[in-house]
Amino acid sequence: MRRSIPIFAAIFLFMASALFAALSRPIASYDIKARLVPAEKKILGSEILTWLNDTDLPVSELRFHLYLNAFKNSRTTFMRESGGSSRGFKADKNNWGFITVKNIRIQDGDDLTPSMAFIQPDDGNADDRTVMKIDLPTPLPPGKKIAVAIEFTSKLPKVFARSGFAGDFYMVGQWFPKIGVFQNGAWNCHQYHASSEFFADYGTYHVEITAPEKFVVGATGKRNGETKNADGTRTYVHDQENVHDFAWTACPDFIEFREKYALAEPSVKTEMILLVHRSHVKQKDRYAQALRNGLEFYSRSYGPYPYETITLVDPAPGAMGAGGMEYPTLFTAGTTTWMPKGVRFPEMVTIHEFGHGYWYGMVGSNEFEEAWLDEGINTYSEIKAMAKYYGEDRSMIDIGGLKIGSVAYNRMSVIGSGRFDPIVKKSWEYISGGSYSLNVYAKAGLMLLTLEKWLGEEVMSRLMRTYFERWKFRHPTSKDFIHTAEEVSGKDLGWFFSQVLYSPDKLDYAVSGLKAEEIAAGEGLFDGRATEPPGKEEGGAPAKPAPKVYRNEITVARYGEWIFPQEILVVFDDGEKVRETWDGKDRWTRFVYQKTAKVVSAEVDPDHKMVLDANYANNSRVLELKRPAVVKAALGFTAWVQGFLSLISF
Ligand SMILES: [Zn+2]
């Protein structure tokens, strides 16, 4: 059937190009050779970076991230901001990390090494060497490419924050000289901060990794070659288009599982590669099922997963600082040796980090400047995915009668927290790491759930798909998200976003007062009629007593600064239910009903749309309050859960 081959080829090419539709041209592509030297915890590397000036302006200097220099000494910006610890893990002062650029030159041309200089665009900290600039001999005109060759050595720190080693386990992330993003006429190339992640342009990666034979190696992208070398090492060749970073891992104690994954609607074909540390191998099926769930949920909710591989890395015991981290087509999960089935952290971390392949990997927002666009949107997605597969009220914890869903878990971190920062802020400008986390993860996630309840699930689903489709392989900002939300919903949402994204206040409406008073017969003189209670009517028959009349008062208050229109449900003892609306603007309002029925209860937000509400406990009042007999006593277990949570920040 040779005749049809060209047709099939054309269909295939069309499908392949449709899969990566709306791709921008590759801006930053890398050809890297890396050799792991375990004895020294080093990687000897060389790279050729091909960079396209995709702007309208000539570019006269290049800026590079040298992220590993964050771990060089106690005075770097990362170490000053973090105090040498991250998520409860401490830096090892005997195992610093760094990256040294031996030379940098235009490929087959000028040596640029003499112009190398460290700069500190964010904080002027002269001890920080995480950003390097070099001058070009002649400016690179718009639309032109430059290829630069760099030789470098990366020394990995003992892992406590994402990258590094622990024993024979290596997580090699943010490990090579990486060019910044030239945007709006300037370099966007921030220093490595304690509370921030990354930002880079898309391109094509070809990476050859050489490691001693005993290591099992995993990396971003598809493996296109493996050779055995005479010196007892192996070289693995990985290629990947349309990504903005490249990470790899090596450990002799990984057990590798490969599984083909296919979904019919939408069409997805990929290979799941699980690198599970042998001490956690009993949890392999939990990881695998969570990853299948993630692939299905994100593909159906936002768009088909387009890459040929997805690699899950399970860090070794003692390397949890590397866990819960996303890289293109590869992520690290995390677990402990003892992990009861009803404690769904391995599942949650797997779904969350896989989800970053969408919100971070494919939709490349700036994690330094607007972290909610990846963490918040991904927390929202994760909450929905966890609810779908593990049950809304028990998606996080379901053990021994204790049930905690993802929404409740995220609300726990927002309720009672200080209100110092808004959701949108540069990541290193929050008052603390805790304020950064609660804003960009939990608050932003709950904000999107609130928006979903506000707009309805169908509109929200269209909004998220449109945002993904429009901005994949590009760099959207908060304004782009807002614009998409307004366009898709056809509503002015300025009032919503200006409050929840840009002000640090809170949403809290309450039923502050509820009473029903019988209107007694008046005492004193009233013109034209007596004040006595009704007596016998003329004719002698006893009169029926007049029904009692009550004055029912319901007071609704606004305790937070954010103004949201409110609905109030009032229930009377004759079964009547009344729904009221209030624009929510004043500090309080009151509803009064004079009738023969007594009010029983009142509730603001009866449909529970305001997932962001800071205090659910004050949302309703019942006239005769009966205390629910539900008391949670599992404090020891809760402490364990919280301890575990503090180790993982996702
Ligand atoms: Zn995350």
| pLDDT tens per residue across span 569-602 | 999 999 999 999 999 999 999 999 999 999 999 9
Whether 509 and 604 have beta carbons less than 8 Å apart is answered as yes
Ligand 1 center–CA 378 separation, angstroms: 7
What is residue 628's predicted lDDT score, i.e. its pLDDT? 40
Element (H, E) at 152: strand 145-155
Ligand 1 center–CA 526 separation, angstroms: 71
* CATH number, position 601: 2.60.40
Query: Do residues 36 and 149 both lie within one domain?
Result: yes
* Tokens coding 532: 């006595």
Ligand 1 center–CA 423 separation, angstroms: 15
Query: Do residues 485 and 514 both lie within one domain?
Result: no
What is residue 635's predicted lDDT score, i.e. its pLDDT? 38
What are the helix (H) ranges across 302-344?
A: none
The mean per-residue pLDDT over the stretch 497-504 comes to: 96
The percentage of residues in the chain with a pLDDT greater than 70, rounded to a whole number, is: 90
Residues for the chain: how many in total?
650
Ligand 1 center–CA 377 separation, angstroms: 9
Distance CA 620, CA 420 (A): 28
Distance CA 533, CA 523 (A): 10
Question: Is residue 310 pLDDT above 80, yes or no?
Answer: yes
Element (H, E) at 487: helix 478-489
Question: Is residue 631 pLDDT above 50, yes or no?
Answer: no
Q: How confident is the model at residue 568 (pLDDT cuts 50, 70, 90)?
A: very high
Query: Do residues 141 and 240 both lie within one domain?
Result: yes
pTM: 0.89
Ligand 1 center–CA 352 separation, angstroms: 6
What is residue 414's predicted lDDT score, i.e. its pLDDT? 83
Is residue 316, in this structure, part of any structural domain at all?
no
Ligand 1 center–CA 370 separation, angstroms: 13
Residue 315: closest CA among 349, 366, 355 = 349
Query: Do residues 89 and 200 both lie within one domain?
Result: yes
Query: Do residues 559 and 494 both lie within one domain?
Result: no
| Cα 405 → chain centroid | 17
What is residue 529's predicted lDDT score, i.e. its pLDDT? 60
Whether 337 and 309 have beta carbons less than 8 Å apart is answered as no
Ligand 1 center–CA 441 separation, angstroms: 8
The mean per-residue pLDDT over the stretch 273-292 comes to: 97
The mean per-residue pLDDT over the stretch 524-545 comes to: 60
Is residue 446, in this structure, part of any structural domain at all?
yes
Is residue 259, in this structure, part of any structural domain at all?
no
* CATH number, position 86: 2.60.40.1730
Domain boundary among 465, 500, 535: 500
Question: Is residue 638 pLDDT above 90, yes or no?
Answer: no
Q: How confident is the model at residue 545 (pLDDT cuts 50, 70, 90)?
A: confident
The mean per-residue pLDDT over the stretch 145-161 comes to: 97
DSSP 442: I
Query: Do residues 457 and 594 both lie within one domain?
Result: no
Q: How confident is the model at residue 115 (pLDDT cuts 50, 70, 90)?
A: very high
Is residue 295, in this structure, part of any structural domain at all?
no
Question: Is residue 8 pLDDT above 50, yes or no?
Answer: no
The mean per-residue pLDDT over the stretch 127-143 comes to: 97
The mean per-residue pLDDT over the stretch 489-500 comes to: 97
Domain boundary among 237, 252, 267: 252
What is residue 24's predicted lDDT score, i.e. its pLDDT? 58
The mean per-residue pLDDT over the stretch 610-617 comes to: 92
pLDDT in tens, 79-93: 999 999 888 899 999
The percentage of residues in the chain with a pLDDT greater than 90, rounded to a whole number, is: 83
Q: How confident is the model at residue 542 (pLDDT cuts 50, 70, 90)?
A: low
Query: Do residues 123 and 66 both lie within one domain?
Result: yes
Q: How confident is the model at residue 19 (pLDDT cuts 50, 70, 90)?
A: very low
What is residue 540's predicted lDDT score, i.e. its pLDDT? 55
Residues 6+ apart with CB under 8 A from 346: 283, 286, 287, 290, 333, 334, 335, 339
Q: Which carries the bigger pLDDT value, residue 648 or residue 448?
A: 448
Is residue 573, in this structure, part of any structural domain at all?
yes
Residues 6+ apart with CB under 8 A from 482: 493, 494, 497, 501
Query: Do residues 223 and 85 both lie within one domain?
Result: yes
Question: Is residue 357 pLDDT above 50, yes or no?
Answer: yes
What is residue 523's predicted lDDT score, i.e. its pLDDT? 73
Query: Do residues 439 and 517 both lie within one domain?
Result: no
What is residue 524's predicted lDDT score, i.e. its pLDDT? 77
Q: Could you tell me the residue range of the domain that residue 94 belongs to?
A: 27-252
Is residue 286, in this structure, part of any structural domain at all?
no
Question: Is residue 16 pLDDT above 70, yes or no?
Answer: no
Sheet bearing 169-172, strands edge to edge:
164-166, 169-172, 248-251, 216-219
Query: Do residues 573 and 454 both lie within one domain?
Result: no
What is residue 526's predicted lDDT score, i.e. its pLDDT? 73
The mean per-residue pLDDT over the stretch 260-276 comes to: 98
Is residue 55, in this structure, part of any structural domain at all?
yes
Ligand 1 center–CA 353 separation, angstroms: 6
Place of tokens 């809304």: 392
Ligand 1 center–CA 109 separation, angstroms: 41
Conformational region of residue 615, where left means phi above 0, alpha means psi within -120 to 50, and beta covers everything else: beta
Is residue 542, in this structure, part of any structural domain at all?
no
Q: What φ, ψ does residue 534 adopt, rounded to 5°?
A: -55, 135
Q: What is the chain's alpha carbon radius of gyration, rounded to the nearest angstrom? A: 30
The mean per-residue pLDDT over the stretch 39-50 comes to: 98
Question: Is residue 181 pLDDT above 90, yes or no?
Answer: yes
Q: What φ, ψ does residue 375 adopt, rounded to 5°?
A: -70, -40
In total, how many domains does the chain have? 3
Contacts 24+ apart (CB under 8 A), 519-524: 519/548, 519/549, 519/550, 519/551, 519/594
Query: Do residues 463 and 591 both lie within one domain?
Result: no
What is residue 648's predicted lDDT score, i.e. its pLDDT? 42
Domain boundary among 500, 532, 566: 500
Ligand 1 center–CA 375 separation, angstroms: 5
Question: Is residue 642 pLDDT above 70, yes or no?
Answer: no
Query: Do residues 554 and 492 both lie within one domain?
Result: no
DSSP 447: H
Mean pLDDT of the chain: 90
The partner residues of 172 in beta bridges, in order of sequence, read: 248
